[in-house]
Amino acid sequence: MNYKIDNLQYCKWSREVFEINHQAGLDAVHVTVVYHEDYDEFLERLKEWDEHFKNNSDLIFLGKNFSDIEKAKKDKKTAIFFGFQNCSPIEDDIGLIGKVHEHGCRFMQLTYNNQSLLATGCYEKNDSGVTNFGREAIKEMNKIGVVVDMSHSAEKSTFDAIDISEKPIAITHANPSFWHSAKRNKSKDLLKTLADSKGMLGLSLYPHHLKSGTNCTLESFCEMTAQTVEIMGINNVGIGSDLCLFQPDTVVEWMRNGTWAKQKNFGEGSKSKPGFPKQPKWFEDARGFKNLETGLKKTGFNDEETNKILGNNWFNFYKGIN
């Protein structure tokens, strides 16, 4: 059986998005529920998801573990797995890790771009690695079954997390820096260590992570995938598109600034280009998985390898979460 999984989307959720993902044949999507929201604000977001599940029960349902991906495939629906792009919802309380898991959280980034209580983000000048609280949190996440996601973390912190975590960790959405040197992309050494520990990389389709941005070609992306597989092996690479479909620019502004600064920060953007960047033509939404399939095969991947990258690797990773 082959599964199609996009292991990171942060869209402005609506029936339209769920229909697109359905048309794309996605069996599972890891969705970002919150960034900088605290626990109570996370509960508010959950109410919105309750409505989505109620109003779109023909298309989606809440995924709890890998068997829900099998169920989704069988029922022709998409299993939605919850994740956080910052650790804000657990505040300073290790007891909240169990609580967010009860509410469906399966992936949690230890940091967004800045320093968190757990580790250092990739936009800080210095990286002190995983903190005292971070060590305790990783132990608890391992025990309970919340995946450590280091997509936005700084390098030493990520090496630390791989070392401390007794379960494989994930970088759900980023690309290798040898292809495109962005703060958010990852070094060869790191990707090698991640793969050696059975961790997963989800390749990102977000223009700021792509060589030539919006103008990145499918060929270039698939060639990069082949080079990444050379470093990481064929079992540790998947897709985490980072699609932000239909989000207004106010959202990217808030993602970058949260409530920590009085003046505006532009993150991966710039003063002249502050908003969400435009997707490449061949991946305007998840239906681009079809183009990826064609492109990967053209680059030399066989059917089995292509299917691993487009979902089967993530499916196997999900099997190990609990």
Residues that bind a copy of itself (CB under 8 A): 36, 38, 88, 91-95, 114-117, 120, 123-129, 131-134, 136, 140, 258-262
| Residue appearing with tokens 């069996």 | 27
* C-alpha to C-alpha distance for 32 and 10, rounded to whole angstroms: 5
Q: Among 128, 129, 133, which residue's Cα sits nearest to residue 117?
A: 133
Of 120 and 236, the one with the shorter C-beta distance to a copy of itself is 120
Exposure on the CB side of residue 252, measured as CA atoms within 13 A? 21
Closest approach, Cβ 240 to a copy of itself, in A, equals 25
Closest approach, Cβ 89 to a copy of itself, in A, equals 11
Long-range contacts of range 77-80, CB-CB < 8 Å, 24 or more positions apart?
Answer: 77/22, 78/18, 78/21, 78/22, 78/26, 78/27, 78/28, 78/29, 79/27, 79/28, 79/29, 80/28, 80/29, 80/31, 80/49, 80/53
Closest approach, Cβ 102 to a copy of itself, in A, equals 17
Strand partners, 239: 203
Closest approach, Cβ 139 to a copy of itself, in A, equals 8
Of 135 and 198, the one with the shorter C-beta distance to a copy of itself is 135
Closest approach, Cβ 247 to a copy of itself, in A, equals 21
Of 92 and 250, the one with the shorter C-beta distance to a copy of itself is 92
Of 26 and 154, the one with the shorter C-beta distance to a copy of itself is 154
Of 36 and 180, the one with the shorter C-beta distance to a copy of itself is 36
Of 117 and 234, the one with the shorter C-beta distance to a copy of itself is 117
Closest approach, Cβ 5 to a copy of itself, in A, equals 31
The answer to whether the beta carbons of residues 274 and 254 sit under 8 Å apart is no
